[in-house]
Amino acid sequence: MSSATTTTTSAASRRPALSDPGYQAFVILRTGFTVAPILFGLDKFANLLVDWPAYLAPWINDIVPGSAQAAMYAVGVIEIVAGLAVALAPRFGGWLVAGWLAGIIVNLLTIPDYYDIALRDFGLLLGAVALARLAQRYNDKRQSH
């Protein structure tokens, strides 16, 4: 098979996928759950968006070694890794982000006045689960071509 035929065949097989709303949703979620965790993870080192240590429940701060800011550095690394996992292996990365968000929700539910953020993060958790499920269909299909 010539390279021209391979290129045409590859482009032709991608066209239907690009018009598939399910595949579009997969790409949107994969992009969002790659970029957001990486950016938020990086911001844990700069605190430009918010004072991140304020989001750490006191009981968690009491059990982790070091300061709340040191804990946020660890959180930042985990979030960056989670974003990279979504980029490289969305079927696994989606579940990783969902699990991480579940932990964040538990943390937030134990801080008064953070229930609205916990509810928002629950919505994000559902999006991460949807990404993992869509990745099972679309990412695996793409790799089999």
Q: Is 66 exposed, middle or buried (0-12, 13-18, 19+ CB in 10 A)?
A: exposed
pTM confidence score: 0.84
pLDDT for 18 equals 81
Q: Are 86 and 37 a contacting pair, CB within 8 Å?
A: yes
Greater model confidence, 139 or 95: 95
For residue 139, give both structure tokens: 């990412």
Mean pLDDT of all residues in the chain?
Answer: 90
User: CA 30, CA 35: separation in Å to the nearest integer?
Assistant: 9
pLDDT for 28 equals 97
Q: Is pLDDT at 125 greater than 60 in this prediction? A: yes
pLDDT for 17 equals 75
pLDDT for 14 equals 59
pLDDT band of residue 145 (cuts 50, 70, 90) is very low
pLDDT per residue as tens digits for the range 47-103: 999 999 999 999 999 999 999 999 999 999 999 999 999 999 999 999 999 999 999
E strand intervals along the chain: none
- Find where tokens 């240590």 sit: 53
Kindly compute the dihedral angle of the four CA atoms of residues 92, 73, 127, 54, in this order, to the nearest 10 degrees: 150
User: CA 84, CA 77: separation in Å to the nearest integer?
Assistant: 11
